[in-house]
Chains A and B, each alone.
Chain A
Amino acid sequence: MKPARLTVRFRVADPPADLEPAIGVFHRFIQKGQVEGQILDVADYRHVPRGPGVLLIGHDVDYGLNRDTLTLVRKRSGHDPAATQLRDLLRMGLGAMEAIGYDGALDVDFDRSRFTVAAVDRRLGSPDEVEDALRAAIEPAVIELYGPDVAITPVEIDDRRRVPELFVEADADIAATVLEKLGGWKPPGQSPWDITVEDLVALRRNGQDFVLLDVREDHERGIVHLGGEHIPLADLDEQMGELDRTTQTIAYCRAGLRAPKAVEQLRRAGFSDVRHLNGGLMAWIDRIDPTLPRY
């Protein structure tokens, strides 16, 4: 079965008092590339009663958050079997929960052990046919992830116009391990060695000896910088000889995506203490110095 769309809905365990912060959370997801998918825009449907709430709209996936559910819609992936689409959605959905927690602006809790799955493609046949086919298609993947005791039951829907849904209920402890099985989630651009922008302020204040290394392109450097050395990431291999391998080095870039790569390169080359500035210049501007130009 290869549905044109597949939907997964997780229940919100503890609804947020106000959904408004979700708009900011989703915009930051785009700015910082914090969730998977080809993400395009944020749509605010909070005014629609029983509506989708706030949507993070992508080319290949939509994330929707209202007071009751976190909904994921896999789009334009009809070339993939339903099981592949489901694994993608689970990884994306569980990852988004982590990302929302990491962002911190939205106080919300999710139930990771229960969700529904639906194939939203009416070319596939009658509701009964689709229900059977969907179950057959996803059951092995669900058992592999959630263990043999997982329950897959049809959702009672008395409306034949709606697409059938399957309800998956798993042991909470096993459910807690699923994201790891699917590859896990880490803050984007996160290397195991990072410091926050607040840490950097402290380092400077304490007069500690360290090298701040800007790994962005020349034209970016021209717009704004935080001082220190400048070697674009592409030239790092060639020019790293200019740096001292024993001094602590803090690499930074715009959003925190390139600097972790620099950290890995330098560490591989034998630098003893290299870290990267988490969130990059954008985090610095957001939290430390909002007067700097954004780009």
Chain B
Amino acid sequence: MSATSWQAHLSGQMNPEWADEIDQFEAQLELRRVGNLDEKAFAETRLRRGVYGQRYDNGRRNDGYGTRELPLDFDHPTKGTDTVWDAPGMQRIKLPFGGLSPEQLEVIADLAEEYSDEILHVTTRQDIQLHFVHIDDTPDLMRRLAAVDVTTREACGNSIRNVTACPLAGVCHTEAFDVSPYAKALMLFLLGHPDVQDFGRKFKPAFSGCETEACGLVQMHDAGYVARIKDGKRGFKVVVGGGLGTVPHQAEVLSEFTPVDEYLIEIQAIARIFARMGEKKNRNRARLKFLVANLGIEEFRRLVEEEKRTIPPDPRHTQLIEDLPTTGGPPVRDPSLLNGQPRPDGFERWQATNVRTQRQEGYRVVTVNLPLGDLTSQQARGLADIAREYAGDNLRTTVEQNIVLRFVPEADLPEVFTALEQIGLSVGGAGTIADVTTCPGTDTCKLGIASSRGLAAVVRDRLEERAPSQDPSVSDMSVKISGCFNSCGQHHIADVGFYGNARGFDGRRVPHFQVVLGGQRTHNAGKYGMAVGAVPSKAAPEVLDALTDAYLEGRDEGESFQDWSERLGKRGLRELIEPFMDLPTFEEDPSYYVDHSDARLFTMGDLGVGECAGEVVSLFGIEVMKAESEVFEAQVALDEDDDPAAAERHAYEAMLAAARALVRTEYIDVTEEPDDIVSEWKTRFFDTELFFDRFARGKFGRYLLDLHEDPTPTGDAAVAARRVEEAQLFVEAAHSCEAKMAAEKARVAESKDQRAKAST
């Protein structure tokens, strides 16, 4: 029995543009595997497709005694700086606004089973991640997703990341209007857009239907949109430059009202400014928040207005709005109210925390509480069945790492509860203190310092046990945990946040968590918490109890945890956690020197270089990769497929792509028309002799000029072989041309510098 390839099996089922993209990626993968593509350039293209590194991908791991080489094949080229080809990786799957159909969920379940560890992990940005994925499997994985209209493109790297939105959008009581179609339109507009390819750092957009609720968290995003209606017209309050990270920033208001037919051109302007003026070298200061802070919001606003006027007209600016994308199917059942149906054991408790009313009468929103955001492939299939039966095409992932079902008739809730119970997903407590949010931490992240998931699992267990007798104001609190200061677990916006760090004691390293108190989720994450001190990882669960106990004892009437913590202040809060800061020596209690969910002695030796930001490769570097892939395809067509005509077409495309890559360094809006590319390239690079080789002069350039006169393939194998050869030389010449220009730029900058020094 032989297997059909997924490429053949799914042909015709994928968006052709996406299918081509994946073929290109597969070709680049092959190029890199045989060592014919630069490691940084490959890492960039890989990250842009959501193919991330994972802890230990440098091929080394500390086993508790010392750092050892993992038993992998080290002979392949690397897949990024210090990244072993065969080392496990993470695949991020981008789900705009968290929207997910049962069919898509089923496909992801299959992928988790065939390429990962049968676990689907919902992230704090509404994505789904699979871990321990081998890079060789990623093209097929992407094809199977593309066949159900899901992309991994720009899920990582320095690009527009997943567009998040309130999971209640469309069913919420307080929203101005449903933001989901606009979130999707923004995603479609920007996906692969030329203006978002040259960022110095990632860019995260978010949408919210209303200002006061927590769901959209727009204040902590690079670009945040809050739905508003003005004079009967839809639009957004737009905020920019927010973000968590090491230095949290609240976003600032760019516009009190941007009508919906202008928000796409506006984001394009923002993207262009960020690409042009944003920091490129120092990735620690490269997010938009630093640019906005440096320029000031008034200047930034002025620049956006100015930029908007220079953007060439694009029919998509309005088309996408006139013909809004769909974001969910109709309800599958008629609305009906719960009325005397038998209620299974545990139903009431679950209903109290996991069911919310929605705007549409008779329907309810059900939150499926996923512990630490995880579910198994089999649970995912069961959930797809439940969705089909009761909710239709209306699943959404949430930033709290859960999944919600919308449009569930109230009368069917007992049945839904029973069905969820049968697949182990009827855990109550959604949105309560027990519903802990966490990033992957040391489990799989290269930057993780302490085990955020290990701590979260312990805290969750303890709180769940206590839930029935918990004081309601404690139940309503939130706990969020990050493995390091980068705050992917969003610890800044929790009542009690923790982030991992380490302290030295007794000659050893001890895992710790910094305690961050009093952050705010409501008002779209309107206030960040304050760090009050670090406690040993193993003491952190006790610290949480001490804090909630002190709050219950000392609060004024009606006082929230946030207000209470603000009243106590940093000093008062620190006094509460101080008793837990003491460490036993290793001899007294070695367990403090081992992290949660681990058995090894704690070490920071496994920390790697993060790939969060992606490699910063020049715009030329990214563009010229297309040319490299085309040359590769040409070679394959010639050598393996015996198809000289195809080889000739690819050779021509390769030269065009390389020429365009050069042109775009000077003229970003050049079209993809061969005539335009060749004429722009000719004026700028050939006629100026910039493209010329020292010895061969214009020889390589003329390959393109000659072929462009009549690019029709001859079908002759000898001609094809020559063209492929020429294309290869042309691409090489483009590389040297760019290198020459870069060197020239550096020289000019240096002599300016010297002149400046000489004159002082």
Contacts and interface: CB of A to CB of B under 8 A. Distances in A.
B753 to A, nearest CB: 47
A43 B443 contact: yes
6 contacts: A40-B132, A49-B425, A50-B378, A59-B70, A254-B65, A290-B587
B693 interface: no
B759 interface: no
A73 to B, nearest CB: 8
Contact of B376 (A1, A30, A50, A75): A50
Interface string B413-446: 0000000000111010000000000000001100
Contacts of A75: 134
Contact of A44 (B66, B87, B423, B443): B443
Interface residues of A, number: 51
B581 to A, nearest CB: 25
A44 B454 contact: yes
A182 interface: no
A48 B379 CA distance: 10
B1 A48 contact: no
Interface stretch (A122-130, A200-208, A243-251, A270-278): A122-130
Contact of A50 (B3, B6, B132, B423): B423
A44 B457 CA distance: 10
B89 to A, nearest CB: 12
B760 interface: no
Contacts of B1: 1, 124-125, 129-130, 133
A122 B443 CA distance: 29
B598 A57 contact: no
Interface stretch (B30-38, B56-64, B278-286): B56-64
Given A57-B88, A76-B134, A129-B1, A38 B599 contact: no
Contacts of A228: none
Contact of B66 (A49, A133, A295): A295
A44 B597 contact: yes
A47 interface: yes
A170 B131 CA distance: 36
Given A31-B64, A41-B61, A282-B65, A120 B114 contact: yes
Nearest to A2: B3
Contacts of B454: 44
Interface in B101-155: 106, 109-110, 113-114, 117-119, 131-132, 134
B5 interface: yes
B54 to A, nearest CB: 9
Given A40-B70, A41-B55, A50-B379, 12 more contacts: A38-B72, A39-B71, A42-B599, A45-B374, A48-B374, A49-B427, A59-B88, A121-B114, A124-B1, A282-B65, A294-B601, A295-B65
B272 interface: no
Interface of A: 1-2, 4-5, 23-24, 27-28, 30-31, 38-52, 55, 57, 59, 62, 75-76, 120-125, 129-130, 133, 159, 161-163, 254, 282, 285, 290-291, 294-295
A290 B87 CA distance: 32
Q: Which of B70, B113, B598, B599 has the most CB of A within 10 A?
A: B599
B6 A123 contact: yes
Contacts of B460: 47
Contact of A27 (B5, B86, B109, B598): B598
A50 B66 contact: no
A51 B119 contact: yes
Contacts of B71: 38-40, 59
Contacts of A133: 1
A7 to B, nearest CB: 9
B567 interface: no
Interface of B: 1, 3-6, 9, 55-56, 61, 63-66, 70-72, 86-88, 106, 109-110, 113-114, 117-119, 131-132, 134, 371-372, 374-376, 378-379, 381, 423-425, 427, 443-444, 453-454, 457, 460-461, 586-587, 590, 597-601
B56 A40 contact: yes
Contacts of A52: 117-119, 376
A59 B117 contact: no
Contacts of A55: 117
B571 to A, nearest CB: 36
A41 B132 CA distance: 10
B119 A294 contact: no
Contacts of B132: 40, 43, 57
Q: Which 10 A-B pairs have the closest CB atoms?
A: A49-B424, A24-B599, A123-B3, A38-B71, A50-B424, A44-B597, A27-B599, A294-B65, A133-B1, A295-B66
Nearest to A4: B114
Chain B binding site: helix, strand, loop or mixed by DSSP?
loop
Contacts of A162: 378, 381
Contacts of B3: 2, 4, 121, 123-124
Contacts of B9: 123
A123 B63 contact: no
Contacts of A24: 599
Nearest to A3: B3
Contacts of A51: 119, 374, 376
A13 B599 CA distance: 26
Contact of B65 (A31, A42, A122): A31
A47 B374 contact: yes
Nearest to B111: A122
Contacts of A57: 88, 117, 132
A294 B64 contact: yes
A46 B109 CA distance: 19
Nearest to B384: A161
Contacts of A4: 3, 114
B381 A161 contact: yes
Contact of A45 (B64, B72, B119): B119
A27 B63 contact: yes
Contacts of A45: 119, 374
A48 B443 CA distance: 15
A27 B64 contact: yes
Given A47-B460, A50-B376, A120 B443 contact: no
Contacts of A130: 1
A254 B587 CA distance: 23
A274 to B, nearest CB: 26
Contact of B371 (A2, A48, A122): A48
Contacts of A124: 1, 3
A121 B457 CA distance: 32
A294 B56 CA distance: 20
B5 A123 contact: yes
Contacts of B56: 40-41
Contacts of B72: 38, 40, 59
B222 to A, nearest CB: 32
A294 B66 contact: yes
Contacts of A30: 63
A62 B598 contact: no
A30 B68 CA distance: 10
Contacts of B118: 52
Contacts of A27: 63-64, 598-600
A51 B378 CA distance: 9
Contacts of B461: 47
A106 to B, nearest CB: 12
A47 B63 contact: no
B148 to A, nearest CB: 13
B449 to A, nearest CB: 17
Contacts of A42: 598-599
Q: Which of A27, A40, A44, A76 has the most CB of B within 10 A?
A: A40
Contacts of A122: 110, 114
B88 A40 contact: yes
A51 B56 CA distance: 24
B750 to A, nearest CB: 45
A62 B117 contact: yes
A49 B371 contact: yes
A219 to B, nearest CB: 12
A149 to B, nearest CB: 27
A76 B85 CA distance: 14
Given A57-B88, A59-B72, A76-B134, A23 B371 contact: no
